[in-house]
Chain A
């Protein structure tokens, strides 16, 4: 056990309290260090440097106890890599870099691009800039290193692709107006052709009146084809909640369209009702068609 882990830790905290006696802290850090070293045999990072690294990744207002929640072994490897230890680089290469393939597997990149992404990740993670340390030094240790690297790889891959393509996106929201598409219903088609301008204005206006999240939910689901589960994962909520959001947004769109149409069309109550009933019964049929046309 390296002596002075606690001193190094306290020094790096620049006076922030650790909330426990030095001996306890020393023992805690020692335990973390041996766990980490056992996970990466041969990677021999100086104990005090590691303690300093840990201190920097612990928020100033957290007690030393919070160290237990961190992925210490992963932090150890990240720190050793940032310090430029060759064996650490080798371990990273062997055990972490394969995550890049996992991350980008579904992007259907050509093999050459996968290699490019892998090279970019390697370079970014391991090689320090003129002013900045290697990116791995910033790995926070709150989740596993593998997940962190996968997210970074995904970013690099998508960013690369974004730079190389020029998508025309100007018209896409008009597709959402298909949500109130008349389909093949002759009565609705009639109404829609008769009141085309009003319909379009109402829908556009209704979309604009939704909240950003409502619009995003609809687009992510219906334009980008995310499943309810994926939506839930993106927003960190349960699938049932995500489903509710979608329903609520749909309903809001429908109701707003209904309100605006009522204002504009000056239909009698029953006429309007029949139009709207048709629209509501139509809405998800249009959605599935919209969805299908995107998959085909």
Chain B
């Protein structure tokens, strides 16, 4: 595309560019720096974001101007204007509402023009100064919460103080010198704190001193930018300015503030200002001459106080008090009567000292930054490591040593990276002076929080029980990434650090609760964790902090989910999504919706709802500009739901996408990759794609055994998954071996009553069914035990319980207990139909089983519809679910044979034969049986009798070498059939 033209530019600026055009523009800007600069300049020149679109022309208000009163509800930054409180030379003050923190603030709009500065420059200055003000946090200084620009103006969002100005206070009642002195002591402390932070007030006067519950100084550091003539224009005589501030080049410093402070104090004590003069010229002349008015006769102000004020009014700055602190010390009165206030000024004192020794710090800077390793050693040192290792081994878990090694490796790497980052961030400020202190502060706070996570984790490890040990490797992997602490943009996106102590405290409480909650979760103390975090989440919601509240609600939902309280989890995860969406916390919105997919779809089996949550998650992902790991997690959860729904093709496709994303982002060896591999492999098996499934499952097992140890329950689970591959291949011996091993690992690591153990029992029992009658006897108590575990863990109405019931019936059937089997099959069918609908693929097995049970009781006519239904459900699947199709078809055909309907038996048996011939995993025996059945059907139906004999001959050939018990009898059966059905009978047609 050619360079930007007017219409493209307009669309870009007005936001009407369709996505495909936007991509085109992106490509052009990429190649054409001139156009890109032009766009950048336009964006910078345009009214900044946060400013509401100025009212359209037909609205009653005229073009907004600086002087116009902002209507109620106007958005200034994130604040909404409520009412105008007043105006001064510098700008207009409104009361406003801060929806994010649900509080009222004072909003001061400053006119850049009033300061006589060129617009852009002036704005930048003001912003810098205002940001400096925002850093001063002191009880006697009005807090500045936030700073921003609003069109041409700069705004300050400040604490809204209900108070009088000093002038109003003085007029309201006669004040004793002691009252006045106390007010000024407080005000002076505020001023001193600002000076210590390198900030000058520059315009101290009675209007800028607020007297209420507390004395506070306001309007710091802005006015002194103004040239004196502008200031005069702004409001009367500059009666409170120091003489050196007048004239060209005059600027304010701490000594000027002292002078202004003393004029104000003088006025408060004596009721009039010290210097006479109505014009600037006469006023300055009086000041320079040091001609202070005579003190009114009636005064009771003590002489020491008078002397102190006079010293502050010296023309020569160096003749005044050396500092505000010195003045304040003197202001206390005679030493004997001094109240102790130094201790309360600890912060100021420390700041002063640090200013004093700047030089020393700078030269010793490199060493000042060398403490990172010590910090780490205090938290993850040899002592802590020994304690943790001992605790791990004391659990006696077979996988404890591996888990310890894996967690230790992760923590070692994390703390090493932490120390490196800490040092380099510190040096960038302290040694090389490359970043401002404020940025350093943010980064250090971030790093401190990360180290606090490590500390919490080591405390947890030192008291490890078996649950902690089991999840230790994963818990260690979940430490917050360090990258967030060095990234400017991430820190910037987190928004401003709350300036007032109360909201900062809330934020810190929230953070602490989140960390503890995570640790309790890692220790398996889910209910306790949820109880710890929930009140803080609700507190955050009440305080209007939806951004942080979302994270907290999400954590509670996670903990409840892990505790098995799915309904409670569902409610809270909704809460988390709402809060996250309302506060545009897109990352939490994605994570919460992703969890909601699992809770609704997998836990509560509400599939449609799960897919709605998936859409919410997708939308949030799009809003945040995508995140590959979060997308992978979403895909993984959605895929599991799809697999439960029986939508295997879609499920596998998503698992593959998730796998690619995770391999790229977390590395091909990560545990997250192994999780997806297990599910993907399992889903492929159920679709009959055995070879590929096997590859994934073997890889998952190897990964988990390496990372977690062979005796870890997750390795056991991978073994179990692998055993189902053997099952599908009809490799019964291998299947028995694997399921038995898995059962041992899981029972040892999880205890006898864990649901995973139930699954292992089930799988082992199913393999036993293929052995002798004795094996089936052994299987029955296992199935009963598994069934009990699952019913109590997942509820008697769950689909899992139904599947166990169905398998229990299989065992009963192989023990010849047909009536019991029939009953259990029917129960399982009803339950699955209710949970998953009448077409669900998991119904195939109990339907087929019920057919067999009925057939064995001689009720073939009742059995046939069940065989038929199991086949048609299976046929509706895109793949060969569990490779069971041939078996189902064979049994349907056999049913027809028994019912003496050979003609009906032919089509299913033909299909079964074709399938079996194609399969590489079919058993020899099976290939024989299908031939025998088809041959009988063909013969009895009087169709292709030659082919029927041919099939029997083939079957005989297949089992010629079979030495297995029963093979001989089978051969004899076949031979007898051939004898009884001689070829002499001419084929029909």
Q: Which residues of A contact B586 (CB under 8 A)?
A: 238, 240-241
Query: How many whole Å from A151's CB to the nearest CB in chain B?
Result: 4
A251 nearest CB neighbor, chain B only:
B483
Given contacts A71-B57, A144-B53, list 7 more A-B pairs with CB under 8 A. Answer: A39-B58, A104-B45, A106-B119, A213-B30, A224-B41, A226-B40, A247-B487
Taking a contact as CB atoms under 8 Å apart, the answer to whether A239 and B493 are in contact is yes
Binding site for B on A (CB under 8 A): 35-36, 39-40, 71-74, 77, 95-96, 98-99, 102-108, 142-148, 150-152, 154-155, 158-159, 162, 167, 169, 172, 183-185, 212-213, 215-216, 219-221, 224-226, 228-241, 243-248, 250-251, 277-278, 280-285, 287-289
Contacts known (A226-B40, A238-B584); A143 close to B58, Cβ less than 8 A: no
Question: Which of B394-402, B623-631, B799-807, B943-951 lies at the binding interface?
Answer: B623-631
Taking a contact as CB atoms under 8 Å apart, the answer to whether A212 and B27 are in contact is yes
Q: Which residues of B contact A221 (CB under 8 A)?
A: 489
Q: CB of B953 within 8 A of chain A?
A: no
Taking a contact as CB atoms under 8 Å apart, the answer to whether B489 and A74 are in contact is no
Q: CB of B486 within 8 A of chain A?
A: yes
Q: Of B22, B37, B57, B623, which one neighbours A241 at CB under 8 angstroms?
A: B623
A229–B27 Cα gap in the complex (Å)?
22
5 residue pairs bridging A and B, Cβ less than 8 Å apart: A103-B45, A167-B33, A220-B40, A244-B493, A284-B487
Taking a contact as CB atoms under 8 Å apart, the answer to whether B420 and A106 are in contact is no
Q: Which residues of B contact A96 (CB under 8 A)?
A: 57
Q: CB of B14 within 8 A of chain A?
A: yes
Q: Of B432, B435, B625, which one neighbours A184 at CB under 8 angstroms?
A: B432
Most interface-central of A183, A235, A244, A282 (chain B CB within 10 A): A244
Q: CB of B490 within 8 A of chain A?
A: yes
Query: How many whole Å from B488's CB to the nearest CB in chain A?
Result: 5
Taking a contact as CB atoms under 8 Å apart, the answer to whether B584 and A154 are in contact is no
Q: Write out, one digit per residue, whether chain B residues 666-689 have a CB within 8 A of any chain A CB (1) or not (0).
A: 000000000000000000000000
Q: CB of B323 within 8 A of chain A?
A: no
Q: CB of B425 within 8 A of chain A?
A: yes
Contacts known (A77-B57, A284-B487); A151 close to B14, Cβ less than 8 A: yes
Taking a contact as CB atoms under 8 Å apart, the answer to whether B27 and A238 are in contact is no
Taking a contact as CB atoms under 8 Å apart, the answer to whether A243 and B492 are in contact is yes
Q: Of B9, B22, B152, which one neighbours A155 at CB under 8 angstroms?
A: B9
Taking a contact as CB atoms under 8 Å apart, the answer to whether B37 and A224 are in contact is yes
Taking a contact as CB atoms under 8 Å apart, the answer to whether B625 and A244 are in contact is yes
Taking a contact as CB atoms under 8 Å apart, the answer to whether B43 and A35 are in contact is no
A99–B41 Cα gap in the complex (Å)?
18
Taking a contact as CB atoms under 8 Å apart, the answer to whether A167 and B34 are in contact is yes
Question: Across chains A and B, which 7 residue pairs bring their CB atoms closest together, nearest first?
Answer: A73-B58, A224-B40, A243-B493, A212-B30, A39-B58, A144-B56, A169-B33
Contacts known (A95-B57, A106-B119); A241 close to B434, Cβ less than 8 A: no
Q: CB of B989 within 8 A of chain A?
A: no
Q: Which residues of A contact B33 (CB under 8 A)?
A: 167, 169, 172, 219
Most interface-central of B50, B58, B435, B624 (chain A CB within 10 A): B58
Q: Kindly count the residue-residue contacts between A and B in the assembled complex, taking CB atoms under 8 Å apart.
A: 205
Q: Write out, one digit per residue, whether chain B residues 405-449 have a CB within 8 A of any chain A CB (1) or not (0).
A: 000000000000100110011001000101100010000000000
Taking a contact as CB atoms under 8 Å apart, the answer to whether A281 and B9 are in contact is no
Query: How many whole Å from A191's CB to the nearest CB in chain B?
Result: 15
Q: Which residues of B contact A40 (CB under 8 A)?
A: 58
Q: Which residues of B contact A245 (CB under 8 A)?
A: 625
Contacts known (A233-B43, A281-B424); A74 close to B9, Cβ less than 8 A: no
Q: Which residues of B contact A251 (CB under 8 A)?
A: 483
A220–B44 Cα gap in the complex (Å)?
11
Taking a contact as CB atoms under 8 Å apart, the answer to whether A73 and B56 are in contact is yes
Taking a contact as CB atoms under 8 Å apart, the answer to whether A287 and B58 are in contact is no
Taking a contact as CB atoms under 8 Å apart, the answer to whether B57 and A246 are in contact is no
Query: How many whole Å from A217's CB to the nearest CB in chain B?
Result: 9
Q: Of A142, A158, A282, A288, which one neighbours B42 at CB under 8 angstroms?
A: A158
Taking a contact as CB atoms under 8 Å apart, the answer to whether A216 and B488 are in contact is no
A114–B34 Cα gap in the complex (Å)?
22
Query: How many whole Å from A138's CB to the nearest CB in chain B?
Result: 9
Taking a contact as CB atoms under 8 Å apart, the answer to whether B10 and A148 are in contact is yes
Q: Which residues of B contact A147 (CB under 8 A)?
A: 14, 53-54
Taking a contact as CB atoms under 8 Å apart, the answer to whether B36 and A216 are in contact is yes
Taking a contact as CB atoms under 8 Å apart, the answer to whether B492 and A230 are in contact is no
Query: How many whole Å from B154's CB to the nearest CB in chain A?
Result: 14
Q: Which residues of B contact A39 (CB under 8 A)?
A: 57-58
A215–B36 Cα gap in the complex (Å)?
11
Contacts known (A155-B9, A183-B434, A241-B624); A142 close to B34, Cβ less than 8 A: no
Q: CB of B233 within 8 A of chain A?
A: no
Q: Which residues of B contact A216 (CB under 8 A)?
A: 26, 29-30, 36
A212–B58 Cα gap in the complex (Å)?
41
Taking a contact as CB atoms under 8 Å apart, the answer to whether B486 and A281 are in contact is yes
Query: How many whole Å from A64's CB to the nearest CB in chain B?
Result: 20
A237–B151 Cα gap in the complex (Å)?
20
Q: CB of B528 within 8 A of chain A?
A: no
Q: Which residues of B contact A225 (CB under 8 A)?
A: 40, 44
Q: Which residues of A contact B63 (CB under 8 A)?
A: 95, 98-99, 146
Q: Which residues of B contact A280 (CB under 8 A)?
A: 483, 486
Query: How many whole Å from B30's CB to the nearest CB in chain A?
Result: 4
A233 nearest CB neighbor, chain B only:
B49
A179–B833 Cα gap in the complex (Å)?
61
B420 nearest CB neighbor, chain A only:
A277
Q: Of B22, B58, B483, B489, which one neighbours A71 at CB under 8 angstroms?
A: B58
Q: Which residues of A contact B959 (CB under 8 A)?
A: none
B4 nearest CB neighbor, chain A only:
A155
Q: Which residues of B contact A244 (CB under 8 A)?
A: 489, 493, 624-625, 627
Taking a contact as CB atoms under 8 Å apart, the answer to whether A228 and B424 are in contact is no
A128–B481 Cα gap in the complex (Å)?
61
A288 nearest CB neighbor, chain B only:
B435
Taking a contact as CB atoms under 8 Å apart, the answer to whether A151 and B490 are in contact is no
A103–B214 Cα gap in the complex (Å)?
44
A282–B432 Cα gap in the complex (Å)?
12
Q: Which residues of A contact B483 (CB under 8 A)?
A: 251, 280
Taking a contact as CB atoms under 8 Å apart, the answer to whether B584 and A220 are in contact is no
Taking a contact as CB atoms under 8 Å apart, the answer to whether A240 and B487 are in contact is no
A219–B32 Cα gap in the complex (Å)?
12
Q: Which residues of A contact B417 (CB under 8 A)?
A: 277
Query: How many whole Å from A185's CB to the nearest CB in chain B?
Result: 8
Residues 579-635 (chain B) with a chain A CB within 8 angstroms? 584-586, 623-627
Taking a contact as CB atoms under 8 Å apart, the answer to whether B57 and A35 are in contact is no
B35 nearest CB neighbor, chain A only:
A162
A238–B582 Cα gap in the complex (Å)?
13
Taking a contact as CB atoms under 8 Å apart, the answer to whether A74 and B58 are in contact is yes
Q: Which residues of A contact B50 (CB under 8 A)?
A: 229
B9 nearest CB neighbor, chain A only:
A155
Q: CB of B13 within 8 A of chain A?
A: yes
Q: Of A74, A185, A224, A240, which one neighbours B493 at CB under 8 angstroms?
A: A240
Q: Of B58, B152, B432, which one neighbours A183 at CB under 8 angstroms?
A: B432
A278–B15 Cα gap in the complex (Å)?
40
Contacts known (A228-B492, A238-B584); A167 close to B53, Cβ less than 8 A: no
A142 nearest CB neighbor, chain B only:
B16
A216 nearest CB neighbor, chain B only:
B29
A221–B488 Cα gap in the complex (Å)?
11
Q: Which residues of A contact B29 (CB under 8 A)?
A: 212, 216
Q: Which residues of A contact B434 (CB under 8 A)?
A: 183, 285, 288-289
Taking a contact as CB atoms under 8 Å apart, the answer to whether B492 and A36 are in contact is no
Q: Which residues of B contact A146 (CB under 8 A)?
A: 54, 56-57, 63
Q: Which residues of B contact A247 (CB under 8 A)?
A: 487, 489-490
A138 nearest CB neighbor, chain B only:
B7
Q: Of A148, A169, A226, A283, which one neighbours B486 at CB under 8 angstroms?
A: A283
A25–B57 Cα gap in the complex (Å)?
25
Q: CB of B349 within 8 A of chain A?
A: no
A144 nearest CB neighbor, chain B only:
B56
Q: Which residues of A contact B152 (CB under 8 A)?
A: 105
Q: Which residues of A contact B878 (CB under 8 A)?
A: none
Q: Which residues of A contact B15 (CB under 8 A)?
A: 236
Query: How many whole Å from A247's CB to the nearest CB in chain B?
Result: 5
Contacts known (A108-B120, A282-B424); A288 close to B624, Cβ less than 8 A: no
